[in-house]
Amino acid sequence: MSDRFNWLEINTGGQQRQASSAPRVPPHDASSFYQAARNMREAAHLGTACDYYRKAVGLNDQNYGAWCELIDTLVRNNELDEAEKVSSDAFENYRQVRLLYAARALVMTYRRRTEEAFPLISVALEGDPAAWYPRCVMGEMLVRFDREKRFEAERFFEEAIEKAGNPWEPYFLAGWAFLYAGMPALAASYLAEAAHFRPKSAWCWLCLGDSFRSLRLYEQAMFYYQRAQEMEPNSELAIARQKECSKLSFGLMRIFNRHKLRDRWNAALEELRQESEREEP
């Protein structure tokens, strides 16, 4: 696991800020709205991403990937009522699409309706052995409902990573799941890989910052929030997070230099590695 952190200290000196992820040419058809939605999602503009996804499925209601990503993004944006409505409509209209069973299962997971979530994800997993997204949902379900099933969840995430054409998304979803299950060190290991594969994704850097903030490594968290703002200069979330960390770090983290911060992080990582070795058969 430790190799996931080898590249985390990134030198951004002299690097120019990237332009916002807003499309240079306004989207005009199903395909361009879908791509714009994906770009906005990666940039952590989740509300705008949802608007574009709605346009995409409105113009092409058989873009099942767009339906699934719309539902997933609504969940990540804490719009659970809307996510439940959209997933219910999509599920009723396209019952033959196993991917939508996984999206519906995710909504039920966040509603904590386990008796509905597990049958849905079972159908999704049986329907397409090569699909990566249902495995991510299954991993998130396991770790949300029972933190003791962390290792089983990791196996599902690793399967998803192997099956995905571009592994950044399953790495990111694994990191998200572990972060919000209260395991920020493990979350950071997956989010680091996601950012490695998608270095221009502000969402990856924001979640990395959240992981280190949860570890109370505020200066390191600030570094990643600043990295997110480099990708998205007008990101209100990145700016707000930096202000929060400034207040938390004042008078506390100044006693640590960069090397001491790295030592603390390495100690946390070593503890996690030893725990993994104890639990493995």
pLDDT tens sequence for the chain (281 residues): 334 443 343 333 333 333 456 666 788 899 999 999 999 999 999 999 999 999 999 999 999 999 999 999 999 999 999 999 999 999 999 999 999 999 999 999 999 999 999 999 999 999 777 899 999 999 999 999 888 899 999 999 999 999 998 899 999 999 999 999 999 999 999 999 999 999 999 999 999 999 999 999 988 899 999 999 999 998 888 899 988 888 776 544 444 455 555 566 566 666 666 666 665 55
Q: How many whole angstroms separate alpha carbon 2 and alpha carbon 6?
A: 7
Where does 128-249 have alpha helices with state H? Answer: 133-145, 150-163, 168-180, 184-197, 202-214, 218-231, 236-249
Determine the Cα–Cα distance for residues 139 and 273; give it in Å rounded to an integer. Answer: 20
Question: Is residue 226 exposed (0-12), middle (13-18) or buried (19+ Cβ within 10 Å)?
Answer: middle
0.85 exceeded by pTM: no
pLDDT value for 247: 77
